[in-house]
Structures are given as structure tokens and as C-alpha cells.
């Protein structure tokens, strides 16, 4: 074995010696830096204007005409529900102008997208647009199971049942993540009452019946790195006749209930374009915590103060996992959305460091402690470099 410094553990190393001259300035330096930084982060977070409301119980608590919710804490001025169209109309107040860009999110609670089986349940090649054998990761939603039924839109809407030994189509897109896609349809904002002077010269006064809308764009809400993971499956279906598409690909089971246009399956004209469907791409990036928000749209202009209305088609049921769903409209700061925790954490750490520095300084001034000779920490130094121990003769090397 070669006799190297690394193998003989003789590499040069540095070990800090914690003395009052090094510890006390470090504590005060951390405090002086962290406290102003934390105050700046907290003030930046407080400048973010955020409006949020919970509409989970709209279908069960709201009436057919506008009325104030009976429960407190919803942040809703008035709401109503149309059981025929499943539309929940919510009116809420924006207390002050929200500077652009303005982002709209939907927030879910108690939805565990971080489940290991759920996170792995997709096929990357299928998302890119390739029709081929699916991986086992898509189970149990890769192919219809024995006994499952689906409708094939072949002119007469034939109901097909999966039977053992017979070919069956694949779900597109397959997997648990895509099947559980958030399916509530959220409209743009409609002004109900505001004295803000819009660029068009209109003033949205109460009772004026002006259809002044604030529109959100969802075409670029996904990360570019996420959009690159999706492709158009029509390129892979060029050699498949249009009549065979309904028996080659079928929508996930939940999509048939949530999206009426796919209730009778796919055909050559209604295949979903995953490459441009940014809402799906945002959903497919799974969240790490059971309470999360996902981006729905953005608008780069100012959202004026006043009363606004939002219409939501309720297709996404949260009752089976005991969750809630909310809408969050927010501006951003240089650090992102509203989150005061980071600033408070910096202030707390800086304050604790200053308090410890003052306490240790007082202890050092009142009752100082004589420091020892740190040269004795080097037990393996040559004989001529070691100092006498306790005033006696030089210590002898050990053999």
C-alpha cells in the first residue's frame, strides 16, 4: 500500500478554536445582518395583496339567489348555486387595487399528492405522444379492468365491456395523477361595483349592468421544463384510421364524469392536446404537502378594488377525501407570494443571536475565564515543538 498523506490521514486540516474573541463577534454579526434582512422580507411579504375565499360548501349551503353565507370565515360577500348547471356564483370584495401581475390559484386541502404510488402513476412516453405498451407504473389505470364498461362514440354510442383475452384500449393519459385532475371550471372576474376608472372610460357602478371583465390568461402558467415533457399524440396516430381511435384510446374514468365532451369517449376531433393544456401540466407536477395551491391564470394589469363575481362549475368533489377547495387571487413581490414566515424566522434567529451575544459578553466581563494553551491540543507534534507541561521538563514522546 502506498504511503500517501491521504491514506495515512496526514492531510492538512483546520479546526476552529471557540474563544470569546471569535464567538462573541460572530453572534453579534449574525444578529446585525439577520434582523434587518428579516424586517425587509416581512415588509415585502406584507405588501402582497391577497384575496382568498372557500367555496367548498357552495352546493349544499348556498341558495338559488344571492345571499350572504351563514358560516363565517369564508370571505364571501354573497353567493348562489344553480343545481341544474352546477354553477356556484361567488361575489367577494377586493379591498384595494391589486398591482399586476395578478395570479389566480385554486387551493386544496387534505389531498395527498405526495403518496408514493400516486407520484409514480404516469407514463412519460405516453405524455410525449407515443402510443405503445404502457409501463406498470400506470396501474391500476393503464387499461380497463375485466368487467369495466365504457362508451365508444362510433355513431351509435356503443357500450363496450372489457373481457379477459380480448384486446382493450389504453387510458389516455394513464395513471392516477391524470385521472384525478382538478376539474372545476373557473370563469373570469365580472365587475359588480367599483368606482375605478377603467381604461375604456367605463365605471362599474352598482346597478349599471356593465359587463366589465377581468380576464386571466392560462396559456403560459406551466414551467417550460414541464411543457417539454408533453407532445401531441396525433402524430403517433397517423397510421391508425379515425374509426379505430375510439377503440385505441379512451378517457380516464373520472374524466367521463367531469368533462362532458368526453362522456362518450374520444374521436378524431376531440383528442386532448396535452402539449398546449397547461392546466394539466400544472396539475401533473405533484405537490409535496397535503395543502397546496396551483396556478390557474394570470393577468399583468391592475385588478381594481370593488365587488367582483366569479362563476365556478363544480365538478371536483372534495368530500370523499374530507378536503376543502378555495380560490386565491394574489399579487407578488420580488420574493414571490405572501409568506411572512421567512421574515419572522430571520428576525427570531437574529434576535436570539444578539441575546446570546449579550449574555456571553456579560458573563465574560463579570467572571472571565483564563484560557489554556491550545498548543497542547496537538498531541502528535514532534518532540522539539512541544512545550513543557506544568512548568516541568519537556514531555517525552510516547513509544
* pLDDT tens digits, 43-63: 988 888 899 999 999 999 999
**Which range is least confidently modeled, 138-152, 238-252, 335-349?**
138-152
Please write the tens of the pLDDT for every residue from 159-214.
776 666 677 788 999 999 999 999 999 999 998 888 887 776 667 766 565 678 88
Could you give the percent of the chain with pLDDT greater than 70? Answer: 85
Q: Which long-range contacts (CB under 8 A, 24 or more apart) does 53-57 make?
A: 53/90, 53/92, 53/326, 53/327, 54/324, 54/325, 54/326, 55/79, 55/88, 55/90, 55/312, 55/325, 55/326, 55/327, 56/318, 56/323, 56/324, 56/325, 56/326
| 253: number of Cβ within 10 Å | 14
CB 331 within 8 A of CB 102: yes
CA 339 vs CA 41, 44, 261, 352, 365: distances in Å: 9, 9, 39, 22, 41
Single pTM value for the model: 0.80
CA 288 vs CA 55, 119, 146, 313: distances in Å: 23, 10, 34, 27
Pairwise pLDDT comparison (127 vs 196), residue with the higher score: 127
Give the model's pLDDT for residue 72: 72
What sections of the chain are H helices per DSSP? 20-46, 58-61, 116-119, 124-127, 176-179, 224-227, 245-248, 253-258, 278-284, 341-366
pLDDT at 395 over 50: no
- Give the list of residues 6+ apart from residue 10 with CB closer than 8 angstroms, or none: none
If you average pLDDT over residues 123-140, what whole number do you get? 85
**Which range is least confidently modeled, 80-84, 202-206, 339-343?**
202-206
**Torsion angle defined by CA atoms of residues 140, 143, 149 and 155, in that order, rounded to the nearest 10 degrees:** 150
Residue 249 and residue 243: Cα distance in Å, rounded? 11
Task: Reduce the DSSP state of residue 236 to 3 states and report it.
Answer: helix
Quote the mean pLDDT of the chain. 85
Q: pLDDT band for position 270 (50/70/90)?
A: confident
| 254: number of Cβ within 10 Å | 18
- Give the list of residues 6+ apart from residue 320 with CB closer than 8 angstroms, or none: none
Pairwise pLDDT comparison (215 vs 374), residue with the higher score: 215
Task: Reduce the DSSP state of residue 232 to 3 states and report it.
Answer: coil
Give the model's pLDDT for residue 309: 93
Cα Rg, the chain, nearest whole Å: 32
Give the model's pLDDT for residue 398: 46
Amino acid at each position: 500500500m502506498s504511503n500517501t498523506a491521504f491514506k495515512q490521514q496526514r492531510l492538512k486540516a483546520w479546526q476552529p478554536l471557540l474563544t470569546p474573541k471569535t464567538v462573541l463577534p460572530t453572534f453579534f454579526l449574525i444578529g446585525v445582518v439577520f434582523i434587518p434582512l428579516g424586517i425587509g422580507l416581512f415588509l415585502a411579504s406584507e405588501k402582497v395583496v391577497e384575496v382568498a375565499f372557500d367555496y367548498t360548501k357552495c352546493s349544499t349551503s348556498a341558495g338559488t339567489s344571492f345571499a350572504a353565507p351563514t358560516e363565517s370565515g369564508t370571505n364571501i360577500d354573497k353567493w348562489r348555486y344553480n343545481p341544474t348547471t352546477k354553477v356556484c356564483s361567488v361575489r367577494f370584495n377586493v379591498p384595494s387595487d391589486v398591482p399586476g401581475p395578478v395570479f389566480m390559484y385554486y387551493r386544496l386541502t387534505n389531498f395527498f399528492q405526495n403518496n408514493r404510488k400516486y407520484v409514480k402513476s404516469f407514463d412519460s412516453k405516453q405524455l410525449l405522444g407515443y402510443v405503445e405498451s404502457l409501463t406498470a407504473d400506470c396501474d391500476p389505470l393503464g387499461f380497463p379492468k375485466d368487467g369495466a364498461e365504457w362508451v365508444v362514440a362510433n355513431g351509435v354510442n356503443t357500450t363496450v365491456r372489457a373481457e379477459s383475452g380480448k384486446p382493450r384500449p389504453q387510458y389516455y393519459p394513464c395513471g392516477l395523477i391524470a385521472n384525478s385532475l382538478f376539474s372545476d371550471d373557473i370563469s373570469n372576474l365580472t365587475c359588480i361595483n367599483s368606482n375605478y376608472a377603467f381604461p375604456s372610460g367605463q365605471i362599474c357602478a352598482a346597478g349599471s349592468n356593465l359587463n366589465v371583465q377581468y380576464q386571466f390568461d392560462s396559456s403560459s402558467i406551466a414551467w417550460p421544463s414541464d411543457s417539454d415533457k408533453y407532445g401531441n399524440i396525433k402524430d403517433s396516430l397517423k397510421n391508425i384510421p379515425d374509426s379505430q381511435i375510439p377503440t385505441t384510446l379512451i378517457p380516464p374514468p373520472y374524466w367521463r364524469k367531469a368533462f362532458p365532451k368526453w362522456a362518450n369517449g374520444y374521436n378524431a376531433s376531440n383528442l386532448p392536446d396535452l402539449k398546449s393544456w397547461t392546466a394539466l401540466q400544472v396539475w401533473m407536477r405533484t405537490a409535496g404537502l397535503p395543502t397546496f395551491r396551483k396556478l390557474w391564470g394570470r393577468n399583468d394589469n391592475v385588478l381594481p378594488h370593488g365587488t367582483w363575481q366569479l362563476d365556478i362549475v363544480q365538478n371536483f368533489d372534495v368530500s370523499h377525501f374530507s378536503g376543502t377547495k378555495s380560490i386565491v387571487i394574489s399579487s407578488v413581490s420580488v420574493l414571490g407570494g405572501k409568506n411572512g414566515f421567512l421574515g419572522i424566522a430571520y428576525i427570531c434567529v437574529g434576535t436570539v443571536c444578539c441575546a446570546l451575544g449579550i449574555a456571553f459578553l456579560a458573563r465574560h466581563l463579570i467572571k472571565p475565564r483564563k484560557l489554556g494553551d491550545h498548543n497542547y491540543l496537538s498531541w502528535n507534534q514532534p518532540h522539539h515543538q512541544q512545550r513543557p507541561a506544568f512548568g516541568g521538563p519537556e514531555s517525552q514522546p510516547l513509544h
